Amino acid sequence: MVRTSEALVNATAAVERLPQPSLPPVPWRDPHSVPPEELSQYIQRLEQACLDRPHSADLRTCLGMAYAMNFDVYKSMDALEAARAIDSSNFWAQMKYAELHYRLRTLRRAEEETLKAVELAENVWQLGVARRQLQEVRRLSRDSARNVHWTKPLATPALILSAMIVLLFVVMMWT
């Protein structure tokens, strides 16, 4: 399985962006319905399938979901990002990527990604799925303690604080 994973990582870098059919070539099972003891084997088959069909965003999405079910978050993130890169208009790739962030409770990011999924919805049902998730993410955001998302440069306030301390030092020594 490790060997397949490595091969997949190498192959992913070489994937070209091509228009893809919206349905997967094989009717893969919903990873949620795969029993945990079979999950490793199922993932291996999915990885192989992705190697065989490197341009399938749906297969990558399915693989990303399977990784997530297997608690392998960063592999899941990679697979879903690859799916999005292969087909940037694929609703499910975007939706599942957003859902992964929602599950991790990185809510700010989850909201951004779910909004993108809303934009990509192709029918009322997909729109409903995305909106429900968006609603839940926003509810959680509202109910939780705001966690600071540090976005501004650190140098300026650090310099100001240092200058204030130096000034204080001079004043205290002077007096």
Nearest distance from C-beta of residue 148 to other proteins, angstroms: 6
Per rule CB under 8 A, is residue 139 in the interface with other proteins? no
Of the two residues 18 and 40, which places its CB atom closer to other proteins in the complex? 40
Q: How many CB atoms lie within 10 A of CB 64?
A: 29
Closest CB 105 distance from other proteins, rounded Å:
5
| Near other proteins in 83-112, by CB under 8 A | 92, 96, 99-101, 103-109
Residues whose CB is less than 8 angstroms from the CB of residue 165 and which lie 6 or more positions away in sequence, other chains included: none
d(CA 73, CA 86): 20
Question: How many chain residues bind other proteins (CB under 8 A)?
Answer: 49
Residues in the chain: 175
Q: Give me 40's structure tokens.
A: 């490793």
- Report the alpha-carbon distance of residue 167 to residue 1 in Å, rounded: 62
CB 66, min distance to other proteins, A: 9
- Is 173 a binding residue for other proteins by CB under 8 A? The answer is yes
Which residues, other chains included, contact 149 with Cβ-Cβ below 8 Å and sequence gap of 6+? Answer: 108
Instruction: Write out the residues near other proteins by the rule CB under 8 A.
Output: 30-33, 65, 68-69, 71-74, 77-78, 92, 96, 99-101, 103-109, 125, 129, 140-141, 143-152, 154, 157-158, 161, 164-165, 168-169, 172-173
